Amino acid sequence: MKAWRLSLLLSIIALASTAHARQVAVIADTNNTVISVTSAELVKIFSGHTRSWPDGKPIKIILRDPSSADMELAARKLFNMTGDQARAFVRAHSDMITIADSDDAVIRFVGTTRGAIGLVDLYSLTKGVNVLKVDGKLPVEQGYFLRGN
């Protein structure tokens, strides 16, 4: 028996067998005054077509390895790219995109770099960064853009 509070939804089954839906959060440094972006704006930012924030600060992009599950989801949702295409894209834009080896590293970089923007799993979030709404929604809201399997 596991030490567990019976939450009283007695019939809910803990079962992890197939992939769970992920929510990828878009984060920015806490000095950034932007709180919301559209998915179209995100596409422009991550493809390098938008290179500065409205206040003129240059945008610095930091992401996880494109083969990570979160990044595959983001590449699919933002650019309709496969994992291989996303890896090729990142290689071709290495001057513009910094790759970090963990969500913690992404958060540290974004939290300490003015103008930085990154993508992390919802459950990696810390107080050191701001979470941007995408199309008016936070990652926990129904219909959030960067959500899926």
Q: Does residue 49 belong to the site contacting another protein (CB under 8 A)?
A: no
Residues 6+ apart with CB under 8 A from 48: 93, 96
126 near another protein, judged by CB under 8 A: yes
The strand pair at 36-37 and 60-64 is best described as unpaired
Residue 52 binds to another protein (criterion: CB under 8 A): no
Question: Which of 31, 47, 53, 63: binder of another protein (CB under 8 A)?
Answer: 53
Does the protein bind another protein through residue 54 (CB under 8 A)? yes
CA atoms within 13 A on the CB side of 13: 3
Find the shortest distance in angstroms from Cβ 92 to another protein.
26
* Residue among 43, 97, 105, 131 that touches another protein (CB under 8 A): 131
- How far apart, in whole angstroms, are the C-alpha atoms of residue 117 and residue 62? 6
Q: Which of 4, 49, 56, 95 touches another protein (CB under 8 A)? A: 4
| Rg (the chain; Cα; Å) | 17
Identify residues 6-35 at the interface with another protein (CB under 8 A). Answer: 6-21, 33-35
- How many other C-beta atoms can be found within 10 angstroms of the C-beta atom of residue 140? 11
Distance (Å, whole) CA 35 – CA 118: 14
Site size toward another protein (CB under 8 A) is 44
Q: How far is the CB of 111 from another protein (least distance, A)?
A: 12
CA–CA dist 73, 84 (Å, integer):
12
Give the interface with another protein as residue ranges (CB under 8 A).
Answer: 1-21, 33-37, 41, 53-54, 122-127, 131, 133, 138-142, 148-149
